[in-house]
Structure 1
Amino acid sequence: MVRTELAARLNDREYTNWLKAGRCLLILKDGLLPFTDRYMRAFHGDLLNQSAVLRSPCRDSCKPRGNKLSGCKVCSEWQKAILRHHRQPDVTVNWDNCFPPYWRTDHWEVAKAFMPRGQAKVKGADKCDAPALLNLINYCTYFSFVDPKLVREVIRCRNELMHSSEYHVTDDWMQHYWTALNHFVNQFRHVPEMATVGNKIDEMLTLNLSIYVSGLDQMDSGGLGDGLEADFVSHKESGADVGQWEAELLEEMLQELLHDADEDTDSQTQVGKGKKAFLHFCLCILHIMHKRSMFHDFC
């Protein structure tokens, strides 16, 4: 049954477009992670070197209230420094992403001020997703070599992808997405960790997932000969990979829905609370299934 349903999905071209586009975001994230971490560490060091006040500890254990922060003298100076290096300081800055007393010692707490909502519990660059890193690059002026228009186009494509209720995108959309990714990635030619990202994205977007369908059909036939045993194992593993891809994308979409629910003005009503509880439940179940490899059980 699981194999049949997977085969049906992989025979749907626009669904596989959606799946491959999502995988490209993970490829992009893996390339950007070490670079953004290193760059923000340098940015943090520059800020500390420029101001004796910033080198002082927080005096009042300052904490945002909602998305507002009225900090001590030190945290107020950190706020000013962050806003000075923000490309659009007039937009909403998600102070509730941050724990201000850590700004002096943790470069990533500073980075989170440039990111979308929902980063408060994220501890370190390796726990961030692609949109967090893309928004950091978009809003922080320390990434001055990046054309903001190009990163914003990738963000726009990512948002369209994650808000596709049918999990489908067209070939025309994919072509535009491919172009947007290439233009963005080309700006990082000098970054060693990004050297292979463009090729990996090209390989993913040209991947023919119908070969997995062929392999699953052979498995369902029950008549594999000795010469096909290696293919059986290969397709079984490939099917497991695809199942993991699906789980990871669905998990990210559920996280997005939870963030939206948190900002919903009706989220404090009984119905709103029930919706959030249901999303949390779905996310927990998906996480458990992912961990237990239930998506990978094709035999």
Structure 2
Amino acid sequence: MYASKKYLTIAWILVLPALLIRIFTTLYPIAETFRISFFEVKLLQGIHRFVGFRNYVDMFHDSKMIASISFTVLFVVGSMAGHLILGIALALILNMKFAGQKVLRTIVLLPWAMPMVVIAMASKWAFNNDYGLVNNFIRWFDPSFQLNWLIHTGTARNAVIAVDLWKDLPFFAILVLAGLQFISSDMYEAAKIDGAGSVQSFFAITLPLLSKNILVLCIFFTMWRMTSFDVVYAMTSGGPGESTALVAYRVTTEAFTNLNTGYAASIAIVLFLVMASLSGLSMSAAKRVDY
């Protein structure tokens, strides 16, 4: 007993330095960002003065910030709707028994394995009107088709959502597929004997048994969507105008382009609080939702 306590103490002594460094590097940036959010900090003018909650109030009167919030909501909802519908459909296809199943699963994951910056830069060329892959494909059916996707607000937003969906949809589908592997085929056989068709089996067996996995996945993927930055940075730079500037991209612009770090910190804190709330919701959902 004494020896086990001795070894446990030694283990804590060995782990403590790394643990303290980890705590410091996690908590200090959050605390410092929270402190700066109450100050007006403009590096070029040498301004550093306490303004209280003014940065937070200004955030909701800033037309650029409101545009960023509106597009972030649209981006998250649109992307997650696509992930949910197409991801489940793709997982069901990959769960079927056919020749070349393992090869197809590997090929499907290729977009997810590629860096988003590379995909976004390639997509910037793909959506070009004159020599882009997208317009060239459409011109097979309509030779007179002309559209500059990334210079119009609606089409630029749709293009950003489509690229994000294409990038992470395979990963979402593979995670859903992992849940499908735990559903016994005996349940489908029993349902088939009772006269249930494929659609009835999906809504009566598959969807209920996957509900917990899908809910948790949706919450985590929503959190990742809310902090997306690279797709906008490499593909549209927030344009046209400010129509595709996500909130995370706005933080970077205010901090490193406008050098308005106090205002950027207040945006980051609000985003952090939203993410913390979603994280708490995720843990609560994982406990309450049962098969």
TM-score by length of 2: 0.29
Report which structure shows greater RCO (CA 8 Å, sep ≥6): 2
TM-score by length of 1: 0.28
